[in-house]
Amino acid sequence: MSGTDNSIQISNTQSARVGEQRLTDAAMPMVNERLSALPRNERDAMIEQCETVELSIGDILAEPGRPVSHVYFPAGAIVSLLATVDDDTTLEVGIVGTDGMLGVSLALGVDAATLRAVVRASGTALRMDAQNFRRCLANSEVMRTDLNHYTCVLLTQLAQTAVCTRFHLVEARLARWLLMIHDRSPDDHLELTHGLLAEMLGVRRSGITTAAGILRQNKVIKYTRGDITIIDRAALEQASCECYRVVAETAAQLLPPTDSGA
């Protein structure tokens, strides 16, 4: 759990519009899977209406009850979805990275955000305003079906996070969280402080120190101040609880691998 400044506002991220030149798949540092799931003509039409934004750690992209003005397709950045208990207390309930889209409530006909969205790993995203997104959605049955499936996966992630928080030990929860971040990262190196990990898992920093120490002792990870490197992915999966597997299997069933060249 964490304390936040009550006066904080939704961040205005610095952006670089792609003007007349179309942003191609090759120009993206990482491919967003929800865009890759679209037929090439639809994907190109979507990308033409997007702008590239560089998201920084701590940027707030959504607040509960506020209108969703843009959707984001992360292509390197990772965003935490936070449930707010009050103005000062939050708990992470989901993660959005290259696998997903932020602002999926618009696909359900809901114009306001229900969760706070905060950038946890800096990187690129493609951003589209809500009006253009609704227009593209109305014209694409493939997108509507894909986002319905993605919403189901996201709901599974939220449900398993609740189960994990209530029933599982910190070491297993930490392993699960590291796996989820690793799935959405370009390499094995993660910039994560103990304070951030404690905030995301809703535990004391001392609990993170103990759990991370066990993983390091077992040569699963190595870490220095603010940096964690995954050494043995298979061992990390073994250390995780079944919640990771449940979400991964749901995603594999509903969101099969995409072919960006289709």
Show me where the domains of the chain are located: 15-162, 169-240
Architecture of domain 169-240: Orthogonal Bundle (1.10)
> According to the model, what pLDDT value does residue 17 have?
32
> According to the model, what pLDDT value does residue 29 have?
42
- Specify the higher pLDDT residue, 224 or 125: 125
Q: What is the mean pLDDT of residues 16-34?
A: 51
Q: What is the mean pLDDT of residues 176-180?
A: 95
| pLDDT tens per residue across span 189-210 | 888 887 888 878 878 889 998 9
| pLDDT tens per residue across span 144-177 | 999 999 999 999 999 999 999 889 999 999 999 9
Q: What is the mean pLDDT of residues 50-54?
A: 96
**CA 111, CA 107: separation in Å to the nearest integer?**
9
CATH of domain 15-162: 2.60.120.10
> According to the model, what pLDDT value does residue 197 have?
83
User: In this prediction, what percent of the chain has a pLDDT beyond 70?
Assistant: 86
Q: Count how many residues are written for the chain.
A: 262
> According to the model, what pLDDT value does residue 256 have?
80
- Specify the higher pLDDT residue, 189 or 218: 218
Confidence check: pLDDT of 248 > 90: yes
Say how many C-beta atoms besides its own lie within 10 A of residue 205's C-beta: 14
Confidence check: pLDDT of 27 > 90: no
Confidence check: pLDDT of 14 > 60: no
**CA distance readout (Å), 253 to 135, 170, 250:** 28, 28, 5
> According to the model, what pLDDT value does residue 261 have?
52
**CA 42, CA 35: separation in Å to the nearest integer?**
9
Mean pLDDT of the chain: 86
Confidence check: pLDDT of 62 > 50: yes
Confidence check: pLDDT of 140 > 60: yes
Helices (H) and strands (E) in the chain, counts: 9, 11
Confidence check: pLDDT of 216 > 80: yes
Say how many C-beta atoms besides its own lie within 10 A of residue 100's C-beta: 26
Least confident of 22-26, 49-53, 109-113, 166-170: 22-26
Half-sphere exposure of 9 (CA within 13 A, CB side): 3
Q: Where are the beta strands (DSSP E) in 69-175?
A: 70-74, 78-84, 90-96, 116-121, 123-129
Q: What is the pTM of this model?
A: 0.85
